[in-house]
Structure 1
Amino acid sequence: MQFDIEKALPVLERTPQVIEAMLYGLADEWIYSNEGGDTWTPFDIVAHLIHGEKTDWIPRTQVIMGEGSKEFVPFDMEGHHAVKKGKTLGQLLDEFKVLRKENLAVLKTIEINNETLDRTGIHPILGTVTLRHLLSAWVVHDLTHIHQLSRVMAKQYEEAVGPWTRFMGVLGGKR
């Protein structure tokens, strides 16, 4: 499927509600557990999404659409730690909803057509990328983290499902 802003917007608009429906009101064991080692918890994932709303998608869109340097500021993969400090999951979910709504309002003010989608910016690792790439990546990034939330949460019951693990794709099974 080719990128289409009219098909992308509904996914971007729904992500905060999907994540809220998955996480709101769950016990701490669901929210603060990870997949082991240095992996992220659902709490970390929501904070990461907020950090991205503040520093990634719209700021980089504005770099591409603006005048002057087309170089993106490197993304701080540890930036979510400052975002989550002193906050509850409910506060993070609310902040994510507000930021996403504001960012989509900004996006809707930009004329999105084939010409603007072909405009470029310079990613510090990937090099030259287009607005089409960036906006497509925003959608897939959301879906990646929804998948990650499911996987992290499923991991908590990996032993409990016993022999059914082999049928559970989210746990590495064949389905």
Structure 2
Amino acid sequence: MNFELNNSIEILERTPLILESFLSNLSSNWIKNNEGENTWSPYDIIGHLIYGEKTDWIVRAKIIVSQSENKTFESFDRFAQFKENQNLQISDLIAKFKDLRKSNLQELKSLHITSDKLALKATHPELGEITLQQLISAWVVHDLGHIAQISRVMAKQYDSNVGSWKAYLGILNK
């Protein structure tokens, strides 16, 4: 599939709705459990997505399309969510994520991105030179990856309960 901005926006718009539908009103066992030491729970993942909405995707997109001579990104703290209040309800986190994403997509659309703008470049502190198209593509894949991660983390809560069925449940074998 070739990159198309509208296709990307379709996924980016749906991610908060998917997460809201998937995680709202679940017990804390589903929300707060993870896969073991140094892994993330669905709660942690939503916190990570919120931090990304505040400091990553749209911030970097605006740097790329800016007229600034310095187009170098700041480093992204992938663990910043652990520095935030860990006692908020998941519904509050999802609402915050929904609001931030809605605002960021409005900003993205306001950039009036053309094929020329998609080719504009900036420098990532670890990855080097990247284009706006690569950034937006990564944003989409990042969302999809975390949706899959949440599903995997939740599935693994029943890992020891499925018995012989585990042979047929690929999500438990990853």
Distance 1:28 1:134 in 2: 33
- 2:37 is the alignment partner of 1:37: yes
Q: What corresponds to 2:78 in structure 1? A: 77
TM-score (ref. length: structure 2): 0.96
Higher relative contact order (CA 8 A, sep 6+): 2
Runs ≥4 in structure 1, deviation > 2 angstroms? Answer: 82-86
- Correspondence 1:84-123 to 2 at 5 A: 84-123=85-124
The answer to whether the 8 A contact 1:44-1:84 is kept is: no
Q: Secondary structure at the match of 1:159?
A: helix
**Structure 1: gaps of 5 or more residues:** none
Q: Secondary structure at the match of 1:39?
A: coil
Q: What corresponds to 1:19 in structure 2? A: 19
Q: What corresponds to 1:171 in structure 2? A: 172
**How many Å apart are 1:90 and its aligned residue?**
1.1
Percent of pairs with identical residues? 46
Distance 2:169 2:19 in 1: 21
Q: What corresponds to 1:63 in structure 2? A: 63
- Correspondence 1:141-152 to 2 at 5 A: 141-152=142-153
**How many Å apart are 1:74 and its aligned residue?**
0.3
What value does the CA root-mean-square deviation take over the aligned residues? 1.1
Q: What corresponds to 2:139 in structure 1? A: 138
Greater helix content: 2
Residues matched between the structures, number: 173
Distance 1:84 1:52 in 2: 16
Q: Secondary structure at the match of 2:122?
A: strand
**Structure 2: gaps of 5 or more residues:** none
TM-score (ref. length: structure 1): 0.96
The answer to whether the 8 A contact 1:58-1:103 is kept is: yes
Q: Secondary structure at the match of 1:40?
A: coil
Q: Secondary structure at the match of 1:43?
A: helix
Q: What corresponds to 1:2 in structure 2? A: 2
